[in-house]
Amino acid sequence: MKYPDWVPAAVVEMHSDLCKSRDHFRSQDHDREDLESYAKSDRYGCWADYEKSLTLQIAVLERILTRPEMKSVWEWINEKNCSLPLETREGIVGGFLMDIQAWDKSSKAPATDRDAEFKEIANHARKLSRLLRKYRGEGGPTFNYFSALIPRKYDKGLKQILHPDLAAKTEDKPEMLRFLWHHLLPPIDEVISGISRSIKEGDSKLSRNFPRKIAAPTAFRTYLIYGVIDRFYGQTGEIPLTLIATFMSAALDDDSITVDTISKSEAMKKIKRGKILGKYH
């Protein structure tokens, strides 16, 4: 594919890498079960969800790299010398792709439901951790060992990273791998307690980025706009409404996204109310 000479090399490389990933899966006869396992290991619901998300990300990059109106956006970004490279997870483009992935992997629960469910998860984790702690160290209850938590299929991955001499000893003693999990990982009650602690310390704030009504036709667009404004504002200290509208319109191939769309977005309303957005402030 030929790119205009004014596009950032880092974004061109991102597009090339994603295309290679897509072509890799298309060019080889992969077992369906392996594809499903690969998708789920990356927290997608199924292979179809992963493939759909990958296709969208490639299309997004292709549009923002080739649409003539994007030239002014790239020039402005280049002049501002953003605090984070474009391609990183928190960069303007890398973060945008991460938002797409996060949406595709999410439960699609609206913000109010997410808050309630996060609190429920924290409460259950706290109670379970407390009960497990009572029986820590006892040899009887198998549920208090990592063999109950980690399926045997993951033993193969553990074996691959062991020293060759140690791995050889597990050939005739597969249970040795189960034993190793208990020495490598902290007690189960501490791990589960960490779930509750993580939610209490801030994971629940992730719900604020999700629209109130996920089923609404514009929910996905609303979610992405929030992240784009956050990154532009966080890395440049400015909110160029026209350029953000251009970026979003090109990325999603949606001519209905205008300056008015951005200025009336939930993210802008929070800024006007003096509320901070994401992790940059």
pLDDT at position 56, please? 96
237: nearest Cα among 81, 58, 105: 81
Per-residue pLDDT of the chain (281 residues; tens, 9 = 90+): 889 999 999 999 999 999 999 988 887 777 888 888 888 888 888 899 999 999 999 999 999 999 999 999 999 998 887 777 888 878 899 999 999 998 888 776 666 777 788 889 989 999 998 988 887 766 655 666 666 677 777 888 888 888 888 888 888 887 788 778 777 777 788 888 888 888 877 654 555 555 555 556 688 898 899 999 988 988 888 889 999 999 999 999 999 999 999 999 888 887 777 655 554 33
Rounded CA-CA distance 213/227 in Å is 17
pTM: 0.67
Rg (CA), the chain: 23
What's the distance, CA 10 to chain centroid?
20
pLDDT of residue 39: 87
At 68 the pLDDT is 96
Cα–Cα distance for residue pair 113/111, rounded to 1 Å: 6
Residue listed under structure tokens 């509750």: 196
Shortest CA distance to 79 belongs to which of 249, 265, 240?
240
Which pair of tokens denotes residue 281? 């402030």
Using CA atoms, how far apart are residues 156 and 250, in angstroms rounded to an integer? Answer: 45
Residue 139 φ then ψ, to 5°: -80, -15
Rounded to 5 degrees, what are φ and ψ at 245? -65, -40
What CA–CA distance (Å, rounded) separates 187 from 274? 43
pLDDT at 135: 79
